[in-house]
Structure 1
Amino acid sequence: MKIVIVDDDCLVTEALKTILQINGDVEVAATGIDGEDACRLYRQYCPDVLLMDIRMKGMNGLEASEHILQEYPEAKILLLTTFLDDEYIVKALRLGAKGYLLKQDYASILPALQAVNLGQTVFGKEIVSKIPDLIRKEEKFDYSSYGINEREQEIIRLIADGYSNREIAAELFLSEGTIRNYLSAILDKLQLRDRTQVAVFYYQHR
């Protein structure tokens, strides 16, 4: 099994590389330190599994996963984090990542890699216990009670996904000025200060 490891903590990367290569079935083809490395190394090595941290400087693991899965829909990505964060779990599920584990659970990483390589989806036990609550939160929130129309809902979702005004404009075939007007209206209706609060509001009401 050929893997690529991407983590901005070099000590973690080396520890993972050492632990995993003790098993003769694992070849660590390359390592990287950020999401841009992940995209580049995936294209270069086409690993069986990409093992990647979520929180990294610059392009993070979720952003890199999105780019890679758009280009390689069959990519197998196993995400690692030290944070048991609902927002990360939801995004990982939506993006199509094949696994989400806590870094602290070193003993589970090799079995998880093997399972993902076989096409399974793997989540750590701490994460599995949260999934039912996350599913219940998926009940549709009534934005109409705030006077938010369908177009504004779409823009809220894209903001929560990390899109800039320019990217939203390109996605919806609108001008940046129009998107700024929509954003001003959204902030006013929801009584929020900025786009970060819009993203937080979105995930709190999913």
Structure 2
Amino acid sequence: MLDLYSPGTSVLHRLSPGVKMLSMALGATLLFLNQSLLITAAATLGILALYPVARLPLTKAAAQLRPLLVIFALFFAVQWYFESLTLAAYVVLRLAALILLASLVTLTTRSSDMIDTMTRGLRHLKPLGVHPEKVSLAISLALRFIPVLAQITTEVREAQKVRGLERSVIAVAMPMAIRAIKIADDISDAIDSRGYRS
């Protein structure tokens, strides 16, 4: 199964997966409840400051956002046009903070540890008909979607840039489609190996 985990011995790497995931959930909730651009900017800088703590270069953080710059620009333009410059900056900063936070957890936590932690936590809901293994796997895959998308997009664009094909839609889209199919196969194999098929 595709894992973006970056091996290390930092404080964040050694922190319990459950603590990291609960902190991420709390942080994401607070980011959505907060309506202040200043607080959102401070939170974004705070999350960025955690990358060196995890002994991850800031270039790694930038790599998580680079493939989404077009989306950021689109959101910014729409919000600025229909609302205000302040709201546009707030929306984009909040989205960037959420992505950086999810990526930090992904980079410092193994997929298997995340799935095992969620499975243990969800066992209390089994009497209600919840299948802990399936739900935890689905959540884990969802948490990894944006970082995986960012990694694939960056790799494909860099490869095509070397070949001078970065302006060709087909030259960029085809490798991404092939990689997406490969990832789908890997995920399917992971589901089968864990016996999650109904």
Q: TM-score, normalization: structure 2?
A: 0.29
> Which of the pair is proportionally richer in helix?
2
Q: Taking CA–CA contacts closer than 8 Å with sequence separation of 6 or more, which of the two structures ends up with the larger relative contact order?
A: 2
Q: TM-score, normalization: structure 1?
A: 0.28
